[in-house]
Structure 1
Amino acid sequence: MNEDDEMPYKLAGRVVALTGSTGGLGRALATELRARGARLALLDLDPDAVAKQVLSLDGGGDVWGSHVDVRSWATVQQAIDAAAAHFGGIDIVIANAGIAIASPMEKLAPEAFDRVIDINLNGVWRTFKAGLPHVQQRRGYLMAISSMAAFVHSPLQAHYTGSKAGVWAMCDSIRLEVRRLGVGVGTVHPTFFATAMMDEVLADPAGVKIWGGNSGGLWKMVPLDDVVAGIVNGIRHRQDLIVIPRQNTLPAKAPGLFRRILERIGFRDTEIASAIALAGDGRTRP
């Protein structure tokens, strides 16, 4: 199913695993999903914050939480597997954990670059990798929170734009691999919106200089509620691409204008399945 299908994907009773659950977007999204009857596995780096969030949503056995560090494959796999065991399966995985900083290449410490890439890009891959065996059983949906930065590449953010463009491209590739399994894959591309992360951007003179304080023009912030509503609609219709606000859809879709045509011609499901059967696990061979 994708954005062209007529029947929405019901959220009531679905099991949703959400990383970065205690951040601004994660918290708002968890609240809305719970209000729609979803059962939640809340996953975050701060175990105390997760525990409080579970209590705040008062879901009994329908809301469960765990510590996760998306930079660690072991913790991601353990948490996802534990969530599946608790609920008896998982329908939807949302890779939401992410960070942002503004710094030019000449000043950015190499370890800071590595950290952004490891959380924003590698963390999505780890989350999807751990979630796929469970989501596959229910012909469910994988969603990654990317950004308009995947398409609009601003200065002082090579690390961030690279990670978010990587998420978009990676999800396009994964979608081709799993569509034969009945699994959908979507990426979310919001513009700036109000969260604690944006508070840090607005407190950074470099960020204010580049984006003009995000008070108007191209970089004006949109309400958090609009982002949550767009994400929920994207889940309900198992969309490939969710752009918020919608008026940014044209610049977002332009880079992939011919992608679907090329995919249909160049990558057939039977060929993909055969290639997957032949592929190794990526470890370096002696």
Structure 2
Amino acid sequence: MAGRVVVVTGAARGLGALLAKGAASRGARVALLGLEPAELAAAAKACGPAARWWEADVTSPEALAATAGEVLAHFGRVDTVVANAGIATGGPVQYSDPRTFDKVIEVNLLGSVNTARAFLPALRESQGYFFQIASLAALTAAPMMAAYCASKSGVEAFAHSLRAEVAHTGVGVGIGYLSWTDTDMVRGADENPALRRMRASLPFPGNRTYPLRPTAARLLAGMAARRPHVYGQAWLPAAQAARALMPAAITWNARKVMGRYEAEWLAGGGDTRLVGAGGAAAGRG
């Protein structure tokens, strides 16, 4: 990645910050975008003196377009854009808060669309690479995670469409898949006992939480090679191959346990807030 200019959204913490730092350690100049100025400044400092950060809301097409112009003016080019910004909420759809449910779709799906639209002119100029962070949730949906799963299925389909649209220009489009990974968002979800136990009940290996650094290293290797599909855990290609069977398996398991977890979630107050520190920052926006 030496010499490339890499833009990462949702870069204030967690996976985004680690991807930016990893790209910088491989010789890239990085632009970190997010909503938390203090955390962005600290993350950019960890990336070295060539890194810069911008406070940017991916749900605002106008603001994001202006930021893209500033990034291009500063670095002179953009080679890789990582659409990583994402939030989550949990709970049964029937009891979900429309505001937080819609916010997940807005940030995760429409935010990725806005990111692509803002940076595509620069990527076409450099024949660069757009890397969309998706999830195991794009391969198989899970109960009590409808907003997140819908958004990640959406970004996967969006990235496939975008790849076909821009292939003739030399721009590459990749999709990154990762299972439950040790981030603020996952830890925030686990603060709700019903969500934590529901997740633990999923079939192995989808019920494990995986360390962040090896996951980021796998994604960075795929980004460097401009691969169309990149997997944060070694077993995920098998899930990709078996995705037609996964909804039936998840439903079979949920039929046995979902009543208990729904009752537990309701007894715990039915928390519909966005989870984790990133969710709190998005909610303030």
Question: CA 1:75–1:253 in structure 2 vs 1: closer, same or farther (change >3 Å)?
Answer: farther
Q: Structure 1 length normalisation: TM-score? A: 0.81
Superposition deviation, residue 216 in structure 1 = 6.5
Structure 2 residue 2 is matched with structure 1 residue 12: yes
Aligned to 1:33: 23
Superposition deviation, residue 169 in structure 1 = 0.5
Task: Tell me if the contact between 1:17 and 1:42 (Cα under 8 Å) persists in the aligned partners.
Answer: yes
Structure 2 residue 112 is matched with structure 1 residue 136: no
Question: CA 1:217–1:173 in structure 2 vs 1: closer, same or farther (change >3 Å)?
Answer: closer
Structure 2 residue 34 is matched with structure 1 residue 44: yes
Structure 2 residue 245 is matched with structure 1 residue 241: no
Question: CA 1:253–1:122 in structure 2 vs 1: closer, same or farther (change >3 Å)?
Answer: farther
Distance 1:253 1:33 in 2: 29
Match of 1:81 among 69, 72, 75: 69
Superposition deviation, residue 245 in structure 1 = 1.2
Superposition deviation, residue 254 in structure 1 = 4.8
Aligned to 1:252: 240
Distance 1:233 1:121 in 2: 24
Aligned to 2:157: 169
The aligned runs of 1:127-276 (5 Å cut-off) are 127-212=115-200, 217-254=205-242
Distance 1:167 1:76 in 2: 18
Distance 1:41 1:17 in 2: 5
Aligned to 1:112: 100
Deviation string for 1:101-144 (max 9, x for gaps)? 21111111111111000000000000011010001111110001
Of 27-36 and 208-217, more deviation after overlay is shown by 208-217
Aligned to 1:103: 91
Distance 2:150 2:45 in 1: 37
How many equivalent pairs are there? 244
Superposition deviation, residue 93 in structure 1 = 0.4
- Structure 1, unmatched stretches of 5+, are 1-10, 257-286
Distance 1:205 1:92 in 2: 39
Question: CA 1:215–1:91 in structure 2 vs 1: closer, same or farther (change >3 Å)?
Answer: same
Task: Tell me if the contact between 1:124 and 1:167 (Cα under 8 Å) persists in the aligned partners.
Answer: yes
Superposition deviation, residue 53 in structure 1 = 2.4
Where 1:178 maps in the other structure, the secondary structure is: helix
Distance 1:198 1:158 in 2: 15
User: What is the root-mean-square deviation in Å for CA atoms of aligned residues?
Assistant: 1.8
Moved over 3 A (4+): 213-217, 253-256
Deviation string for 1:198-227 (max 9, x for gaps)? 111111112112112899643111221121
Deviation string for 1:244-274 (max 9, x for gaps)? 2122202214559xxxxxxxxxxxxxxxxxx
Superposition deviation, residue 17 in structure 1 = 0.6
Where 1:218 maps in the other structure, the secondary structure is: coil
Question: CA 1:214–1:192 in structure 2 vs 1: closer, same or farther (change >3 Å)?
Answer: farther
Letter aligned with residue 14 of structure 1? R
Letter aligned with residue 189 of structure 2? V
Where 1:246 maps in the other structure, the secondary structure is: coil
Letter aligned with residue 185 of structure 1? V
Letter aligned with residue 142 of structure 1? F
Distance 2:138 2:11 in 1: 22
Distance 1:213 1:199 in 2: 17
Question: CA 1:64–1:137 in structure 2 vs 1: closer, same or farther (change >3 Å)?
Answer: same
